[in-house]
Structure 1
Amino acid sequence: MTATITTDQYAVLPNGTRLHYASAGKPGAPLLLFVHGFPEFWYEWEAALQEFGGDYYAVAPDLRGFNLSDMPAEPTAYKPKHIVDDLRLLIAHLGYPRCAMVAHDWGGAIAWNLAIALPQLLERLIIVNSPHPYLFMKALAEDPAQQEASAYMNWLRSPHSEEVLAKHDFAILERLLSGMGQSPTPWFAGEVRRKYHECWSRGLVGGVNYYRATPLHPPTAENPGPQGLVLNPDDFRVKVPTRVIWGERDVALLPSLLDGLGDFVPDLKVERIPEGSHWVVHEQPERVNALIRRFLQE
């Protein structure tokens, strides 16, 4: 049976942030938190909430800066430590000491950080097309192919990129979600397209501020990015049981980002989907849900 989704919910956190979230299932059941990426919002996980609401308290927030959640104007408000704190406080607000977490894209970046810093909050971590931060840092500093694939990050960091994204009825974002430079995909149409336009109309500055706040971007003549970072790999170990789903046709986050992941995550399994793109959650929701369920039961 498909679970009913409740959408009009808000959490005012002790740090002052107001987050909107959708949920399915009953509070008190095991908490399963779904975290979206850019340029998405909670609705990325609609099929997952319907699937898992029968067994879990399945919750999908809008991260700060997206859709109906608070959208600070300053890029410094989007440093990963602040978003990690939002999720920590949201878990407590929902009445839980810990949860299982499923995360994609920027949501995955935040989830990796949370798993490294606060492993006691996570029973399991499931990542979809989001690189481990140390491996991403190394690739951006040293791998020409990933530098080229991530060049869009520097454009998004530039002033007024949110205004350009909004032009011509969000034409650039439409191209991003309807194929990411590859052949168009049928999922981004009709009601889904309408909901995304409604979300984007509420503002895009928050989403691009994630890119402005991070030091992880391809180096430029003006900004060395990760080439200026000196990090200890031992500080990036993940003690949480972790499963990764990776669409291998992702043209922004290359499959080579999985190389060496086992060195950082002892309890790791990776499921590659050769025909899946960065948007594999949308392209194959039933398959992704089946993998999530299998991982949760292992």
Structure 2
Amino acid sequence: MAKEFRIQTISVCDTIRIHCLSCIFGVWVIFKRLAKGVWNSQRLTNIQPRDNPPSCLVDSRLGQHKYVKLKGEKFHYVESGSKERPLILLLHGFPDFWLSWRYQIPVLSQQFRVVALDLKGFGDSDKPVWRSRYQINRILEEIKDFIHALGVSNCIIIGHDLGALIGWYLVHQTPELVNKFFAVSCPHPNIYWQNLSNTCNYQWLNFVQVPYLPEIDALKEDVKIIDQYYKHLAPNDVYLEAYKYAFSRKDDWTGPINYYRKLPFLRINEGAGNISTTVILITGNKDQLVKLEGIVKSTEYCDKFYLKMIDGTEHFPHQEDPENFNKVIIQFLIGKSTSVEKDMLQRSSSKRIMQGLLGAVSTTVKYGNSVIDNVQKKTNCVVSSIPIGLSLNYNQATSK
């Protein structure tokens, strides 16, 4: 199938539905904010001035801070490791920037050339305000040009959250550009948008379609949204302050939010075929922002995949438990040890994978009941149990 048809827009009815809901949620949020303002206006407008960057943002020990200009857009990135080694491109999530990978850069750069990119609109990269500058084809073309500007024709991509979502589109559109793709805390795009319907993210997704207001809302109560996302960081943590510095102005939010003003209207064409690139899906078993069932269902779009849960972590496994997260990454990059091979469980179908993985989740307090009920409906109430933390792999080509 031609590349231009792999990514398609949603139907007119679904588009109208999103815009109608955005109006409803916009009015609701305005009313709620005004009601709060009557009781405590200072709480809504209290923003601490942040004119100087925290030391961790100017420290070069993690790598060299560099810039490149591509077709009029300036991109900032941090690079570490020898240029003679294979390239790993790190793509952060929302709301985040290159600092997200502070625990991975030193470890991976010992054996790889590591580049942590600030996506357009984030960090020190350019922050255009127009939504048209965040068209998915433009974003993918810029990442392709960026990789080529680094002097290589392909690389390994590790993406978290929004960065992984963009990575999914990239491996569908230009699979020859990606040797291996690690999707952290993010299901396949066609699954991603479906799995928002039962969470508060669904309300937020519709709310951000409204112009201007979401950016102002994000700044309320001294950028409280950062505290809500990074609950694993202590209140006085230097990295928490670094995030608040990076998102302390209205313009710091327009670009990031514009991704969510464009991407919900896109899907991968179901007739585009499966991803030929090896995909490693990594998720925390306590993630409240992403449904585990959605991570598992994403494997249906992959010819070859591995799935790994980082036990005890939520939406930021690479920050919450960097030691175990890095071990998982290294195992899949450098090669499988004997212990890893024993830990792998061959499955003959994606249906059996869902049964096993969600059976494991049934042993956890938070996810057990709700997930198992959902899976039983899909598997005729047949759910098997396996130990928590088990890695799963599946190669459709060899299972036939």
Q: TM-score by structure 1 length?
A: 0.85
Whether contact under 8 Å (1:134, 1:236) holds in the other structure is no
Name which of structure 1's ranges 191-200 and 58-67 shifts more when overlaid on structure 2: 191-200
1:5 aligned onto 2:58: no
1:236 & 1:106 partners in 2: Cα distance? 23
Match of 1:290 among 305, 327, 331: 327
1:158 aligned onto 2:210: yes
Letter in 2 for 1:277: E
SS in 2 for 1:234: coil
1:242 & 1:215 partners in 2: Cα distance? 22
Whether contact under 8 Å (2:156, 2:180) holds in the other structure is yes
TM-fit CA distance, 1:188? 6.4
2:181 & 2:236 partners in 1: Cα distance? 30
User: Which residue in 1 is equivalent to 2:360?
Assistant: none
Distance 1:232 1:33, change over 3 A: closer
Whether contact under 8 Å (1:99, 1:121) holds in the other structure is yes
User: Which residue in 2 is equivalent to 1:223?
Assistant: none
Distance 1:69 1:51, change over 3 A: same
How much is the aligned-residue C-alpha RMSD, in angstroms?
2.0
1:40 aligned onto 2:96: yes
User: Which residue in 2 is equivalent to 1:222?
Assistant: none
Total equivalences in the alignment:
273
Distance 1:169 1:139, change over 3 A: closer
1:204 aligned onto 2:253: yes
1:27 & 1:284 partners in 2: Cα distance? 28
1:35 & 1:72 partners in 2: Cα distance? 19
SS in 1 for 2:271: helix
Letter in 2 for 1:250: D
1:121 aligned onto 2:177: yes
TM-fit CA distance, 1:236? 5.5
Whether contact under 8 Å (1:149, 1:251) holds in the other structure is no
Name which of structure 1's ranges 276-285 and 103-112 shifts more when overlaid on structure 2: 276-285
- Greater Cα radius of gyration, structure 1 or 2: 2
TM-fit CA distance, 1:234? 2.6
Whether contact under 8 Å (1:25, 1:55) holds in the other structure is yes
Aligned ranges for residues 33-182 of structure 1 at < 5 Å? 33-139=89-195, 144-145=197-198, 148-159=200-211, 160-178=213-231
Percent identical residues: 26
Distance 1:236 1:69, change over 3 A: farther
Deviating beyond 3 angstroms after TM superposition, the runs of 4 or more aligned structure 1 residues are: 137-140, 186-189
2:75 & 2:181 partners in 1: Cα distance? 21
SS in 2 for 1:70: coil
- Structure 2: state its 5+ residue gaps: 1-59, 336-400
User: Which residue in 1 is equivalent to 2:377?
Assistant: none
Letter in 2 for 1:197: K
2:98 & 2:227 partners in 1: Cα distance? 18
Whether contact under 8 Å (2:75, 2:119) holds in the other structure is yes
1:158 & 1:236 partners in 2: Cα distance? 35
TM-fit CA distance, 1:154? 1.7
2:235 & 2:260 partners in 1: Cα distance? 24
Distance 1:17 1:136, change over 3 A: same
TM-fit CA distance, 1:47? 1.1
2:218 & 2:210 partners in 1: Cα distance? 12
User: Which residue in 2 is equivalent to 1:192?
Assistant: 239
Whether contact under 8 Å (1:36, 1:44) holds in the other structure is yes
Q: TM-score by structure 2 length?
A: 0.64
Whether contact under 8 Å (1:150, 1:252) holds in the other structure is no
Whether contact under 8 Å (1:243, 1:269) holds in the other structure is yes
Q: Deviations over 1:46-84 (max 9, x none)?
A: 111111111111000100000100111111211222221
SS in 1 for 2:72: coil
Distance 1:157 1:30, change over 3 A: same
User: Which residue in 2 is equivalent to 1:19?
Assistant: 75
